[in-house]
Structure 1
Amino acid sequence: MSVRNILAALAAAFTVYLSARALVITEPVPQPTLIYAAFVFYQFTTLLCIFWRPRRRPDARPPDAPGQRSDKLPMWVALLALGNAALVPLALAIGVGEEWRTATFATWYLGGIGALMVVVVVRRRPWIGWIGLAILAVESMIFMGPGPALALGLVGSVVWVIVANLVRYSLDRAARDTAQLAQLQRAASAWQASQLVRQRERRVQVQQALAVAGPVLARVVATGGLLDVDDRLEARLAEGRLRDELRGPRLLDDDVRAELERARRRGASVTVLDEGGLDGLDEDSLAVIRHQLAETLRNAASDRLYIRTSPHESIAVTVVGRSGSDQGLSDEDAVDLWSEIQHP
Structure 2
Amino acid sequence: MRRDCTRGTDGADRGEVVNAFGIGSRPLWLMMGVFACGYFLVTLYADSTVTGWWQWIGLFAGFVLFVVAGVTILDSPGDPLPTPTTLAVAGLAVSAVAATLFSLPFPPTHVMQTGPPMGASVVILAFVAVRGRPLAAWLASGCISVIATVWGAVSTAGALWGLSITLPGYAIMIMGSLFSVMLRPMARQIYELREANERQVALDAAAAAATEVRDRRLAALDERARPVLTRIARRESFSADEVVVARLLEAQLRDGIRASGLDLPVVRDAAWRARRRGVHVVLLDDGGLAALDDASAATARERLALAVAALLDEVDDGRVTVRIQPPGREMLASVGVDAGHRTDRIEFDHRVIVAADSARETPASGG
TM-score, normalised with respect to structure 2: 0.55
The answer on 1:136 being equivalent to 2:148 is no
Match of 2:200 in 1: 188
The structure-2 alpha-carbon separation of the partners of 1:130 and 1:294, relative to structure 1 and needing over 3 Å to count, comes to: same
- 8 Å CA contact 1:307–1:319 kept in 2: the answer is yes
Rounded to whole Å, the distance in 2 between the matches of 1:84 and 1:268 is: 84
Matched letter for residue 228 of structure 1: F
Deviations 1:267-309 (A, max 9, x none): 665432212344544155224422333234x32245xx54433
Please give the residue correspondences for 1:199-210 in structure 2 after superposition, counting only pairs within 5 Å: 199-210=211-222
Of 243, 249, 252 in structure 1, the residue corresponding to residue 254 of structure 2 is 243
1:121 corresponds, among 120, 125, 134, to 125
Higher relative contact order (CA 8 A, sep 6+): 1
**1:197 deviation in Å?**
2.6
Which string of whole-angstrom CA distances, capped at 9 and with x for unpartnered residues, describes residues 69-99 of structure 1?
xxx9xx89x94x54552255546782169xx
Gaps of 5+ in 2: 1-25, 354-367
Select the residue among 226, 238, 255 that pairs with 1:228.
238
The change in CA–CA distance for 1:65 and 1:193 in structure 2 (over 3 A counts) is farther
TM-score by length of 1: 0.57
Shift of 1:234: 3.6
Count of aligned pairs: 287
Corresponding residue for 1:339? 344
Q: Distance in 1 between matches of 2:209 and 2:219?
A: 15
How far 1:184 moved relative to its partner? 4.0
Q: Matched residue of 1:94: which SS?
A: coil
Match of 2:19 in 1: none
Task: Please tell me whether the aligned partners of residues 141 and 149 of structure 1 are also in contact (alpha carbons under 8 angstroms).
Answer: no
Aligned-residue offset at 1:118: 1.8
Partner Cα separation in structure 2 for residue 181 and residue 309 of structure 1 = 38
| CA displacement at 1:134 relative to structure 2 | 0.3
Percent pairwise identity: 20
Tell which structure's C-alpha radius of gyration is larger. 1
Matched, 1:286 2:304: yes
Q: 1:233 to 1:300 in 2, by over 3 A?
A: closer
CA distance in 2, matches of 1:144, 1:273: 86
Task: Provide the aligned C-alpha RMSD in A.
Answer: 5.4
For 2:3, the equivalent position in structure 1 comes to none
Pairing of 1:45-194 with structure 2 (within 5 A) = 79=92, 82-83=94-95, 85-87=97-99, 89-90=101-102, 94-95=106-107, 109=114, 114-124=118-128, 130-131=139-140, 133-140=142-149, 143-144=152-153, 148=160, 152=164, 157-158=169-170, 160-168=172-180, 174-194=186-206
Deviations 1:284-337 (A, max 9, x none): 5224422333234x32245xx544334553472233559xxxxxxxxxxxx997
Please tell me whether the aligned partners of residues 145 and 163 of structure 2 are also in contact (alpha carbons under 8 angstroms).
Answer: no
SS at match of 1:339: strand
2:333 aligns with one of 296, 301, 316: 316
Equivalent position SS for 2:345: strand
Partner SS for 2:287: coil
Q: Which runs of 5+ in 1 are unaligned?
A: 24-31, 57-61, 98-104, 323-334
In structure 2, the CA distance between the partners of 1:4 and 1:173, relative to structure 1 (3 Å rule), is same
Counterpart for residue 29 of structure 1: none
| C-alpha deviation, 1:220, in angstroms | 2.1
